[in-house]
């Protein structure tokens, strides 16, 4: 297994462990609806951001699952504030990926599920149509891509 | 570049995985939950001065005192010794009233200001709790501020004795 695969596996495991932990915490608080809601919104936002980034740079983003996890965590910030600091939900918390208003979208989580799938399709389409193989340029990206054919400096 | 086949495989796998997880989560919801989960335990307060608490419970709310009203189907099975701490904690912040659909009384009433029967659901309707999935008596709570306005109301089948007291305390303190 080369370094690229090892790094990919490590980030997959990190992502899965983090999401399972978050799901368990929400389930413990009887809040599975909210886990799905904020996951779909956070992941969709991350995927759209990844699509734009990949479109502009013409290469896949590095550590895509970390983007998704970061989006999910950002969407959940008001829940952390409630849980850890007893700060109740308020309208200004919509700055965290529409944390309050998103609950009341017609269709609820089914709507967000569809948006999430559209965002994923968009990113995959950008990867397919826009990115160019072998465009990795920086030292680290070349290492991650397993390219040792040229000097690194 | 990603091949069309790989892209389709990834998309379909994710769609099926999350579709199944979402379906399982929906199926495993309690029949005592709110039909619309967006309205259950919102974690937010209603605007001040919007909804006056109804005069459905004799003597409550008292002027200048917060009120926490718990609606349960049966008090005898739920308000047991384990709930004593919850009641005591909340009673420092608000008057605590238990409304029981079957008219039963808790085994221990320390910290509870009153236990009120509600066999025909008049009180719970007056407080505006939504009907649960099973169509039965809503189990949940309503919080009233010192000015006598309802600031929070929700179905919550686990509001008593399950550990949601931290949430109720935070909402009471903010109201």
Give the tens place of pLDDT for each residue, A10-57.
888 999 999 999 999 998 888 999 999 999 999 999 999 999 999 999
ipTM of the complex: 0.89
Q: Does the beta carbon of A8 lie under 8 angstroms from any beta carbon of chain B?
A: no
Structure confidence at residue B79 (pLDDT): 56
Structure confidence at residue B109 (pLDDT): 78
Structure confidence at residue B119 (pLDDT): 95
Q: Does the beta carbon of B170 lie under 8 angstroms from any beta carbon of chain A?
A: yes
**Which residue, B22, B11, B31, B42, is CA-closest to A110?**
B22
- The nearest CA of chain A is from the CA of B25 a distance in Å of 7
How far is A6 from B110, CA to CA, in rounded Å?
59
pLDDT band for position A144 (50/70/90)? very low
**Which residue, A144, A41, A115, A104, is CA-closest to B37?**
A104
Give the tens place of pLDDT for each residue, A85-112.
999 999 999 999 999 999 999 999 999 9
Report the residue of chain A nearest B41, measured CA to CA: A31
Q: Are the Cβ atoms of B25 and A32 closer than 8 angstroms?
A: yes
Interface-testing mutation among B2, B16, B174, with chain A (most A C-beta atoms within 10 A):
B2
Average pLDDT, stretch A70-95? 96
* Residues paired with B150 in a beta bridge: B144
Average pLDDT, stretch A132-153? 50
B56 or B160, which is more confident?
Answer: B56
B80 or A52, which is more confident?
Answer: A52
Q: Which of A29, A31, A127 sits opposite B2 (nearest CB)?
A: A127
Q: What string of DSSP letters covers B71-98?
A: EES-HHHHS-GGGHHHHHHHHTTSEEEE
Give the tens place of pLDDT for each residue, B29-41.
999 999 999 999 9
Mean pLDDT across chain A: 87
Q: Does the beta carbon of A124 lie under 8 angstroms from any beta carbon of chain B?
A: yes
Six token digits for residue B54: 């109804």
pTM of the model: 0.87
Six token digits for residue B16: 């099926």
pLDDT score of B82 more than 80: no
| Cβ-Cβ contacts under 8 Å, B2 against chain A | 124, 127-128, 131
Question: What are the two backbone dihedrals, phi and then psi, of residue B97, each rounded to the nearest 5 degrees?
Answer: -125, 135
Report the residue of chain A nearest B40, measured CA to CA: A31
How far is A94 from A90, CA to CA, in rounded Å?
8
Q: In what order do the strands lie in the sheet with B114-117?
A: B114-117, B95-100, B67-72, B140-144, B150-155
- Cα R_g (chain B), whole angstroms: 20
Structure confidence at residue B75 (pLDDT): 83
pLDDT band for position B123 (50/70/90)? very high
Give the tens place of pLDDT for each residue, B51-73.
999 999 999 999 999 999 999 99
């Amino acid at each position: 297994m080369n370094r690229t695969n090892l790094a990919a596996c490590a980030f997959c495991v990190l992502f899965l462990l983090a999401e399972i932990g978050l799901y368990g915490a929400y389930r413990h608080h009887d809040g599975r609806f909210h886990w799905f809601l904020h996951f779909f919104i956070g992941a969709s936002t991350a995927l759209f951001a990844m699509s734009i980034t990949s479109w502009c740079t013409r290469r896949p983003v590095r550590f895509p699952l970390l983007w998704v996890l970061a989006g999910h965590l950002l969407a959940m910030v008001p829940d952390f504030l409630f849980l850890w600091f007893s700060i109740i939900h308020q309208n200004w918390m919509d700055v965290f990926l529409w944390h309050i208003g998103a609950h009341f979208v017609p269709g609820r989580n089914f709507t967000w599920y569809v948006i999430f799938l559209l965002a994923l399709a968009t990113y995959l389409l950008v990867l397919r149509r826009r990115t160019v193989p072998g465009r990795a340029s920086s030292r680290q990206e070349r290492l991650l891509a397993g390219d040792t054919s040229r000097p690194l400096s | 570049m990603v091949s069309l086949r790989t892209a389709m495989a990834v998309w379909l796998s994710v769609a099926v995985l999350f579709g199944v997880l979402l379906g399982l989560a929906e199926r495993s919801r309690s029949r005592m939950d709110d039909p619309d989960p967006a309205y259950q335990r919102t974690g937010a307060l209603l605007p001040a001065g919007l909804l006056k608490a109804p005069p459905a419970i004799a003597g409550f709310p008292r002027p200048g005192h917060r009120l926490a009203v718990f609606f349960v189907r049966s008090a005898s099975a739920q308000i047991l010794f384990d709930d004593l701490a919850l009641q005591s904690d909340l009673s420092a912040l608000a008057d605590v009233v238990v409304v029981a659909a079957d008219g039963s009384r808790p085994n221990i009433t320390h910290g509870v200001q009153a236990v009120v029967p509600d066999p025909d659901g008049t009180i719970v309707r007056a407080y505006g709790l939504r009907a649960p999935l099973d169509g039965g008596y809503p189990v949940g709570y309503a919080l009233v501020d010192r000015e006598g306005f309802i600031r929070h109301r929700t179905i919550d089948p686990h509001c008593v004795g399950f550990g949601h007291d931290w949430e109720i305390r935070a909402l009471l303190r903010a109201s």
